[in-house]
Amino acid sequence: MGFATAIIIGAGQSGLAMSWHLSTRSIDHMVLERGEVANSWLTERWNSLRLLTPNWQTRLPGYAYRGDDPDGFMTMSEVVSFLQGYARLSCAPIARGARVTRVRQQEVGYAVETNFGPWRCRKLVIATGACNLASIPSLAAGLPAAVTSLTPLQYINPALLPNGGVMIVGASASGIQLAREIRAAGRRVVLCVGEHVRLPRTYRGRDIQWWMDAIGAMDVRYDTMVEDIERARRLPSLQLIGTPERVTVDLNSLRKAGVELVGRLVGLCDGKAQFSGSLANHCALADLKMNRLLASIDDWVNTSGLAQQFAPPHRFEPTDVGSETRLCLDLIRAGIGTVIWATGYRPDYSWLDVPVLDRKGRIRHDGGIVSAPGMYVMGLPFMRRRKSSFIDGAGADAADLAAHLSQNLNRAAA
């Protein structure tokens, strides 16, 4: 049986950042990784996917992008190389291929069962991420047997899709990227649009992520939020795409490319897809929120006295969904061969035998400090800061939680 003061489950950016901070505090620990370092980036992404954040924003404690394209966007192989390089540099103690099968609470600490045998620890950090499983709505059960059902975790490229058109359910980051790629391959694409967060790729000559960083939007803490933090944690991902050309992909550009926009999918019955009539309202709300953000950027520029350093302010065309949108579609008659459920992701805690999950299977926590003694979680949306689920957010969150873990150990030893 192995023992470590702390065990970290997962060797992605969150687990590696936590390992780095524990090492700087001389806290012995072990990182258990089900596959290789950056396993999800390596095995669960489609071919053309790139990071949505610029290269300069790819940074972890003591380590950052040092290439010659700071405003570019990493491919998945580059992300894997970056994280594996970080693991080597930090000398993180990683057990590769160690799949956790069960975690139980003990009188002091936790028992962790793996395919390599049991471990014990006093502190446990869950850094398995928020995107282990695709969230597929229950109405998917009504999909005709002749139509293939896929998730973004299963999608690879347009050439491997079954023949026919494609209906994509969900218009956040994954949905718009897949719609653009599949339409460019000559397929008919129907995109089901619900609540979404519209953002331009660039504004006033800078990447939108540069602006979010500059005005402090990504550093907003969970415990300073005036609005409902739980709702903020459930917001859809940003409607962004990373490309060498730094293009903005929004519903207007997709519609001009021939993608058909429909409302949120609300039913599947007798082979017919039924759509909400709220498409225009969802788009108008997304436009309103985008313009509020742009106004806050303009205010920051003016208050800072930096207006001459940037291009003039401007606004983008409102989302145009047309005068009429379809409310029903017979999938077979329309030649739809595939439905892709770009409806979000959820973590997999099937191995966690500790009563810390709510009724929806989410870990109950306060800024990453779980309701069970000595247990922590990393990498969840808006966990401690708005950037918590980004590579750039792992370091600050890990520093906070490592400090809490260390103080807890010191109190126990006193």
The answer to whether residues 190 and 212 belong to one domain is: yes
The answer to whether residues 218 and 318 belong to one domain is: yes
CATH number of the domain at 120, please: 3.50.50.60
CA–CA–CA angle 372, 374, 376 (5° rounding): 80
What DSSP string runs through 367-409?
A: TTEESSTTEEE-S-TTSSBTTTTSHHHHHHHHHHHHHHHHHHH
The answer to whether residues 161 and 266 belong to one domain is: yes
- Final residue belonging to a domain, choices 308, 341, 374: 341
Q: Which residues contact 369 (CB under 8 A, 6 or more apart)?
A: 376, 401, 404
Structurally, how many domains does the chain consist of?
A: 2
Q: Which residues of 242-266 are buried (b: 16+ CB within 10 A; e: fewer)?
A: beeeeebbbbbebbeeebbbbbbbb
- Regions of the chain where pLDDT drops below 70: 414
The answer to whether residues 115 and 165 belong to one domain is: no
The answer to whether residues 309 and 230 belong to one domain is: yes
The answer to whether residues 185 and 320 belong to one domain is: yes
The answer to whether residues 93 and 147 belong to one domain is: no
pLDDT of res. 40: 86
The answer to whether residues 106 and 183 belong to one domain is: no
The answer to whether residues 46 and 111 belong to one domain is: yes
Domain with 297, as residue range(s), is: 135-341
The answer to whether residues 290 and 204 belong to one domain is: yes
pLDDT of res. 414: 63
Amino acid at 398: A
285-341 pLDDT, tens digit per residue, is 999 999 999 999 999 999 999 999 999 999 999 999 988 889 999 999 999 999 999
- Final residue belonging to a domain, choices 317, 341, 365: 341
**Would you put residue 97 in left (φ > 0), alpha (ψ -120 to 50) or beta?**
left
The answer to whether residues 352 and 329 belong to one domain is: no
384-405 pLDDT, tens digit per residue, is 999 999 999 999 999 999 999 9
- Final residue belonging to a domain, choices 341, 372, 396: 341
Strand partners, 112: 103, 119
Q: Which residues contact 129 (CB under 8 A, 6 or more apart)?
A: 10, 12, 14, 40, 347, 379
The answer to whether residues 153 and 77 belong to one domain is: no
